[in-house]
Structure 1
Amino acid sequence: MTLYRANPKDGVAWITGGSSGIGRSLAKDLAAQGYAVAVTALDDDPIDTLVVETTQMPGRVTAYPCDVTDEKRMAKTVAAIEKDLGPIVLAVFNAGSYIAIAGEDLTVRAFRQSFDVNYFGTINGLVPVIERMRIRARGHIVLVGSVTAYFGWPTTAAYGGTKAAINILAESLKYDFDKMNVRIQVINPGFVDTPLTEKNLLPMPGLVPVNRASRRVARGIKSGGFEVTFPRRLSWGLKLLRILPRSICRWVISTATRWKARPLNFDRRPPSE
């Protein structure tokens, strides 16, 4: 049996984190393909302008504001989308947060916030939507990861950890989702020019404009395999680097990011009790 792949004739595409970056651009791409697109972002994020920008497209965009860290509200959002627009056949879990982590300035809060948004924000939407797809015996799930999931980079102890967890999540669930006729894909982009990467402290080789990145994601959804990664010159180079001894890998990353030359910046006084 050929595994199901989403089609705009079958139902709705739902995108989380759709107010900016890849999510916003992808919403336009999917609306251009004829999808009814439900877009979720925080209540005060500018989804309304996206709705206006897509009014002349074959599909349409409808805003369903929600905080992805709110488990109960995410379940209600899934129910509302299906009641208003129809069955969700494609769910793209794109909402994400990047907090740079320096080894000399660790905080539990930064790690918890990263996992709450990037990982559990995905789980909060995945659980209610997959139950409906399971009953219908078809569906298409897309999880947005990152090439930072391949190994540790400076500043990505939290962000990269969430994206590695997303990759493991996709790989683990694929065994059962295949039996349910639910396709699952993981998107591992390199550096994309979005508000998120503006916070990045590292050099960003192969930086991809956001509209080109979203088109690549849209093509991957339409015809790609389990993992969609780009730009290839970066991602395949990193895949090759990953199979080398860890000491070599760390040397290359440290050199490429010029991280050894970065001075530590911290208060040497002992922490107060």
Structure 2
Amino acid sequence: MLTDSKQLIWITGGGTGIGRATALAFAALGHRVVVSGRRLEPLQAVCDKARQQGLGDTLGTLAFDVTDSTDTQRAFEELCCREGVPDLVMLSAGNHQPMPARELSVEACRALMEVNYFGILNVLEVVLPAMRKRGLGTLALVSSVAGYRGLPTAGAYGGSKAAVINLAESLACELNGTGIDLRLINPGFVRTPLTDRNEFEMPCLIEPEEAAEAIIKGLKGSGFEICFPTRFAMIMKLMRLLPYRLYFSLIKRKTGL
């Protein structure tokens, strides 16, 4: 759980989008934040932004590739030596690539799974033992409402996010009572470089700062799932309950596919 006292927070995918906005919001609350990503330049830009906002040196950087288990291990060891075991780890590194059925590609699916799913597992593999040993910590896994049900052109992306949802549910069952607080974050459409790739009108589109506000509010609470924006998330949840015949009919009517 996110507390008012100063915590050490590690964010993967912290150089852009939701991760960036949430890192700055955490720092504004007085927490020490370390942002990670493959490239140092975007991470440094987040730190520069924090200083411009009068937050001093509340943000630090740690560049590594979540798809590389060896590099992930190296990064975690460096973080622990430099800052200590983090109190909260937010796993928001991700990628998105629309994939229509006519362009079905195993390579595209595998690439998204490497980042969106196995990237999370690589970090969990090194963080979980340290948190279990300490008996305390918060893990926030960022998935998407796209993982609730199959959507047109989102077979690769939605499949990877569905896997994260299943993983989070499974781990939450086992970690209950261990002192490790596992949370699932399911955003709807948030304006980021990834969603800019979509060629359709995105309903209930929100800004990264609004997403950060929702995430922080959720982490201060006790609920397992943090989903937003509320109206769109509720619509997606209701769609999970529809039988296939009604669901496919609705999707065809709404998308024209």
Name the structure where helix makes up a greater proportion of residues: 2
**Partners of 2:40 and 2:61 within 8 A in 1:** no
The separation in 1 between residues aligned to 2:168 and 2:11, in whole angstroms, is 17
Report deviation, 1:22: 0.3
Query: What are the superposed Cα offsets for residues 43-98 of structure 1, whole Å, 9 maximum, x if unpaired?
Result: 25411111122132277110101111010111111111121112211000000100
Paired residue secondary structure (2:213): helix
Shift of 1:228: 0.8
* 5+ long unaligned stretches in structure 2: none
Work out whether residues 13 and 35 of structure 2, in 8 Å CA contact, stay in contact via their aligned partners in 1.
Answer: yes
Query: Counterpart of 2:88 in structure 1: which amino acid?
Result: L
Q: Is the 8 A contact 1:203 1:257 kept in 2?
A: no
- Taking structure 1 as the reference length, the TM-score comes to 0.89
Secondary structure at the aligned position of 2:87 is classed as strand
Q: CA deviation at 1:193?
A: 0.7
Written as runs of structure 1 = structure 2, the 5 A alignment for 1:125-144 is: 125-144=123-142
Q: Matches of 1:58 and 1:169 in 2, distance apart?
A: 37
Structure 1 counterpart of 2:42: 46
Count residues in correspondence: 255
Moved over 6 A (4+): none
Q: Which residue of 2 aligns with 1:250?
A: 248
SS at match of 2:199: coil
When Rg is computed on C-alpha atoms for both structures, the one with the higher figure is: 1
SS in structure 2 at match of 1:91:
strand
The answer as to 2:61 corresponding to 1:63 is yes
Alpha-carbon spacing, 1:59–1:44, altered in 2? closer, same or farther (3 Å): closer
The answer to whether the Cα contact below 8 Å between 2:2 and 2:216 also exists between their aligned partners in 1 is no
| Structure-1 residue corresponding to 2:228 | 230
2:117 to 112, 116, 119: 119
Percent identical among aligned pairs is 35
Give unmatched runs, 5+ long, in structure 1.
261-273
> Match for residue 28 of structure 1?
24
After alignment, is 43-52 or 82-91 more displaced? Answer: 43-52
Q: 1:51 to 1:159 in 2, by over 3 A?
A: same
RMSD: 1.5
